[in-house]
């Protein structure tokens, strides 16, 4: 019964996606998608409520059928990638597709002995991922209703390509569930490749030259990652004779495990767009915004983090782990650096996504129980806040026709609701006491005796604060004399933005129960001592503690005080224009003060070049750590 539930959470979105593809009537299609999304959310909640985890789930009835279907699927998928790569003349993708095909054929037909393994492995981590995928994913898809209509109108797309769009989104949701639930590594590999393909198809959705170019880049880099993953699996199989995740995780004798771990980590790096591979994620920003929100910030790139977290017990305490920590920290710093030279909001978000993923990888590399907890917390909060911000930027872009933060000056007067939500979204990313910052605090505490990592993290945090603060400043700028206009928000967009905002704030507020309910059991599942305790908004370890309620109270107090102050001032205060050396300040005329982008310090191209070299060197070092 329970394994059927899990299977349903994978197959239902996929089947629904295929049906959507053939629904041409807009209202029918929207209704159908809406129903499917609510089913997906419901399924995830039922899974959360009814499953006793951690556990493995067997189901002999359909195992063989599924296994064969997936094997066929593997080849179909790779051949399709080959076909695409010929069509768009992206030979690197061809190269990696062939590179995967050859070992795959060899592995499937000559090495792999047919034996039945458990179908699903579910623990709290899978549940957390599943919740993120289902709830955040559904909210983003809901947002896409409003967004895509506007998008197609703007780009004069006719006939509508929305069936394709939503079909891929739904299939993608199913595939993500597949990645996080599968116990058979070959199944995981298949779903992993499906997400790569959906990413490619969605980036290229607009079918312009630029989108296809960027989609091709995403394809070949991720195919490279897929190749690494396959190699990792094959290495594991040759040494340990198993493709079952549970068995792999219970391996005691770890002499041969590090090399496959390196390949899996490499796959994770490509999927999570870590430093030399970040270019695909930046290129992916040409996709419609819901895609950036769904695939490229909250779910798909988290697959890399997921898989690294999943295997982290296997390389705990090794040199490989330490090097991964340094590498992640470096990516965190380097991309934060690159982000400060950007004024394009989506690029800022993309860089900061890579940066935060780097932070997660760093803390997985530190690999103590608190560090793992920090990584999981970060994963949750980042998914919500970043999705929210992407959606906000999408809304803003459709209204003002620009995604430049300089053009967002005075947005609070033009689009009060969206600007306010964006403001809150940024706060949840950069300011204590919200979840992101609590996790960051935790990482800094656990990283403190690894000097290289902690120094890098300290600088990176300051840079992060820099680029978000000035964005807030731009959003909220305005005077009493600015022209105000009301904002009319599409219902779907509104629902999705509001729910994500509420989710981000409420989850931060309940961080201690969240930790106790989902994160701590996961730590226990991974057989570690729990160092971090949480109670009533107070998270503490032996070396320190973080109280969130005092800060919430302070912010609340500030709101109350300032509101009373403004109310009182309404009678007596004078509303003046900003100081402009005695001249009259005329809005939108004359001068404009731009933010400092430190372009004398950081230019994107040169820095990217050097950072890429360094990061490649670091990867080589990680490889060294794996071999030695």
Partner 1 sequence: MMREIIIFVIAIALAPFIGGFLNGIDRKLTAFIQGRYGPPVWQPFYDVIKLLYKQKILVNDFQVFSAYIYLLTAILSIGLFAIKADLLMILFVMSVGLAFYIAGALSTKSPYSQVGAQRELMQMLAYEPMLIFFAIAVYNVTGSFNLGQIMKHGRLLFDLPLMFILLGLVLTIKLKKSPFDLSTSEHAHQELVRGILTDYSGPYLALIHIADWYEMILILAMIAILWSQNLLIGVLIALATFFVDIVIDNITARMTVKWMLAFSWSISILFTIINIAYIYFRR
Partner 2 sequence: MGLKEFIEKSFKKSPWVLHYNCSSCNGCDIEILACMTPLYDMERFGMVNVGNPKHADILVVTGTVNTKNKEVLKNIYDQMPDPKVVVAVGVCAATGGVFREAYNVLGGIDKVIPVDVYVPGCPAKPEAIIDGLYKAAEILKEKYEKMGKAEEVLK
Which residues of this protein are in contact with partner 2, per CB under 8 A?
571-572, 574, 576-577, 579, 581-584
Nearest of 618, 66, 5 to residue 330 by alpha carbon: 618
CA nearest to 387, candidates 45, 137, 148: 137
Please select the residue that binds partner 1; options are 42, 68, 105, 455, rule is CB under 8 A.
Answer: 455
Minimum Å distance from CB 367 to partner 1?
Answer: 19
Interface residue with partner 1 among 87, 159, 584, 593 (CB under 8 A) is 593
89: left (phi over 0), alpha (psi -120 to 50) or beta: left
Residue 618 contact partner, candidates partner 1, partner 2, none, CB within 5 to 8 A by sort of partner: none
List, in sequence order, every beta strand (DSSP E) within 50-117.
55-57
Binding to partner 1 by residue 474, rule CB under 8 A? yes
Candidates 244, 12, 283, 208; CA nearest to 115 is 244
Binders of partner 1 in range 525-564 (CB under 8 A): 542-547, 550-551, 554-555, 557-559, 561-562
Q: In whole angstroms, how close is the CB of 582 to partner 2 at the nearest point?
A: 4
The nearer residue to partner 1, 86 or 480, going by C-beta atoms, is 480
Considering only the stretches 148-156, 189-197, 474-482, 488-496, report the one whose residues sit in contact with partner 1 under the rule CB under 8 A.
474-482
When CB distances are held under 5 to 8 angstroms depending on the partner's kind, the choice from partner 2, partner 1, none that residue 601 binds is partner 1
Among 18, 35, 42, 458, binds partner 1 (CB under 8 A): 458
Q: Is residue 336 close enough to count as binding partner 1 by CB under 8 A?
A: no
Angle (CA) 75-79-84 rounded to 5° is: 150
Which ranges constitute the DSSP H helices of 431-519?
Answer: 435-447, 451-476, 491-509, 511-514
- The count of C-alpha atoms lying within 13 angstroms of the C-alpha of 323, restricted to the half-sphere facing its C-beta, is 23
254 DSSP assignment: -
Residues 382-421 interacting with partner 1 (rule: CB under 8 A): 409-410, 412
> Taking the CA of residue 43 as centre, how many other CA atoms within 13 Å lie in the half-sphere pointing to its CB?
26
Beta carbon of residue 628, minimum distance to partner 1 (angstroms, whole number)? 24
- Other beta carbons within 10 angstroms of residue 100's beta carbon come to 25
Q: Count other Cβ atoms within 10 Å, centred on residue 24.
A: 11
- 475, 411 contact by CB (below 8 A): yes
Return d(Cα 416, Cα 394) in angstroms, integer.
15
From the list partner 2, partner 1, none, which binds 147 (C-beta under 5 to 8 Å, kind-based)?
A: none
595 burial level (CB within 10 Å; 0-12, 13-18, 19+) = middle
Task: Select 485 or 562, whichever has its Cβ closest to partner 1.
Answer: 562
Name which of partner 1, partner 2, none residue 582 binds, using a CB cut-off of 5 to 8 Å depending on partner kind.
partner 2
437 binds partner 1 (CB under 8 A): yes
C-beta of 479 vs 603, nearer to partner 1: 479
Q: Kindly report the CA angle at 552 between 551 and 557, in degrees rounded to 5?
A: 95
297 binds partner 1 (CB under 8 A): no
Q: Which residues bind partner 1 (CB under 8 A)?
A: 409-410, 412, 430-432, 437, 441, 444-445, 448-449, 451, 454-455, 458-459, 461-463, 465-466, 468-470, 472-474, 476-480, 542-547, 550-551, 554-555, 557-559, 561-562, 565-566, 569, 572-581, 585, 587, 591, 593, 595-596, 600-601
């Amino acid at each position: 019964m329970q394994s059927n539930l899990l299977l349903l959470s994978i197959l239902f979105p996929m089947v629904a996606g295929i049906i959507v593809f053939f629904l041409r009537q807009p209202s029918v299609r929207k209704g159908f998608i809406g129903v499917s999304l609510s089913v997906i959310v419901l399924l995830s909640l039922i899974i959360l409520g009814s499953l006793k985890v951690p556990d493995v789930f067997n189901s002999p009835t359909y195992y063989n059928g599924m296994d064969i279907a997936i094997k066929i699927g593997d080849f179909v998928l790779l051949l399709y990638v080959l076909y695409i790569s010929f069509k768009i003349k992206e030979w690197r993708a061809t190269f990696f597709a062939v590179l995967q095909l050859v070992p795959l054929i060899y592995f499937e037909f000559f090495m792999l002995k047919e034996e039945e393994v458990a179908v699903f492995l579910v623990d709290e981590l899978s549940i957390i991922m599943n919740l993120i995928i289902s709830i955040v994913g559904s909210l983003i898809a809901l947002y896409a209703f409003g967004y895509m209509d506007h998008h197609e109108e703007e780009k004069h797309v006719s006939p509508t390509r929305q069936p394709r769009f939503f079909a891929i989104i739904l299939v993608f949701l199913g595939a993500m569930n597949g990645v996080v639930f599968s116990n058979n590594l070959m199944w995981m590999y298949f779903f992993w490749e499906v997400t790569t393909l959906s990413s490619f198809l969605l980036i290229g959705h607009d079918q312009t030259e630029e989108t296809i170019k960027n989609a091709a880049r995403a394809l070949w880099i991720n195919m490279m990652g897929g190749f690494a993953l396959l190699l990792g699996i094959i290495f594991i199989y040759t040494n340990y004779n198993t493709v079952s995740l549970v068995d792999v995780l219970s391996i005691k004798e770890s002499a041969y495990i590090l090399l496959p771990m390196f390949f899996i980590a490499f796959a994770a790096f490509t999927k999570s767009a870590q430093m030399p591979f970040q270019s695909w994620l930046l290129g992916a920003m040409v996709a419609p915004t819901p895609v950036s929100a769904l695939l490229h910030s909250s779910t798909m790139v988290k697959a890399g983090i997921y898989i690294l977290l999943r295997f982290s017990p296997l390389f705990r305490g090794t040199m490989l782990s330490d090097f991964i920590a340094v590498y992640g920290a470096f990516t965190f710093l380097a991309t934060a650096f690159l982000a400060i030279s950007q004024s394009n909001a989506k690029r800022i978000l993309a860089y900061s996504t890579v940066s935060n993923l780097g932070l997660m990888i760093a803390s997985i590399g530190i690999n103590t129980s608190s560090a793992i907890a920090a990584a999981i917390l970060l994963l949750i909060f980042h998914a919500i806040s970043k999705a929210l911000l992407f959606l906000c930027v999408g809304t803003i872009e459709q209204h003002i026709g620009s995604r430049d933060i300089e053009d967002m000056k005075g947005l609070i007067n033009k689009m009060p609701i969206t600007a306010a939500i964006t403001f809150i979204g940024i706060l949840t990313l950069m300011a204590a006491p919200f979840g992101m910052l609590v996790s960051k605090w935790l990482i800094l505490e656990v990283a403190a005796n690894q000097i290289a990592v902690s120094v890098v993290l300290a600088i990176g945090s300051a840079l992060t604060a820099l680029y978000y603060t000035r964005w807030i400043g731009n959003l909220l700028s305005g005077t009493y004399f600015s022209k105000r206009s009301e904002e009319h928000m599409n219902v779907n967009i509104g629902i999705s933005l509001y729910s994500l905002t509420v989710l981000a704030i409420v989850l931060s507020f309940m961080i201690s129960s969240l930790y106790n309910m989902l994160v701590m059991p996961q730590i226990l599942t991974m057989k570690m001592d729990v160092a971090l305790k949480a109670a009533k908004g107070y998270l503490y370890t032996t070396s320190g503690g973080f109280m969130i309620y005092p800060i919430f109270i302070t912010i609340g107090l500030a709101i109350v005080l300032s509101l009373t102050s403004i109310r009182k001032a309404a009678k007596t205060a004078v509303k003046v224009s900003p100081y402009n050396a005695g001249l009259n300040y005329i809005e939108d005329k004359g001068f404009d003060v731009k933010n400092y982008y430190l372009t004398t310090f950081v230019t994107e191209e040169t820095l990217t070049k050097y950072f890429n070299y360094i990061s490649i060197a670091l990867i080589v070092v990680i490889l060294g750590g794996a071999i030695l």
